[in-house]
Amino acid sequence: MNAQELIRQIDDALEELRLAEKHFDMIANKAELIDNAIMQIIIAKNNYMYLLKQARKCGVERDKKQMYYDLLMTE
């Protein structure tokens, strides 16, 4: 996997995390769906962190300021 592909996957994973968190916010008052929404967030966050570790192993670096900003925007 080349660096550009890995960065694209990281960006996609971050977007997936944002969508999972938005989904949670939308269904927060529906108790029967909360567990599923929480699992989606955990899976998305784990995928994002895995891809960041892979990038580090491959020597692919992203702008740290942008990375922290991206993470803060998901909170």
From the centroid of its chain, how far is CA 70?
A: 9
Q: pLDDT (tens digit, 9 = 90+) per residue, 4-52?
A: 898 899 999 999 999 999 999 999 889 899 999 999 999 999 999 999 8
Give the other-Cβ count within 10 Å of 30's Cβ. 10
Q: What's the confidence (pLDDT) of residue 68? A: 58
**pLDDT (average), residues 57-64:** 76
Contacts of residue 40, defined as CB under 8 A and 6 or more positions apart, other chains included, come to 20, 23, 24
Closest residue by Cα to residue 25 from 39, 11, 38: 38
The pTM of the full predicted model, rounded to 2 decimals, is: 0.78
Give the other-Cβ count within 10 Å of 21's Cβ. 18
Q: What's the confidence (pLDDT) of residue 64? A: 60
Q: Strand, coil or helix: what is 30?
A: coil
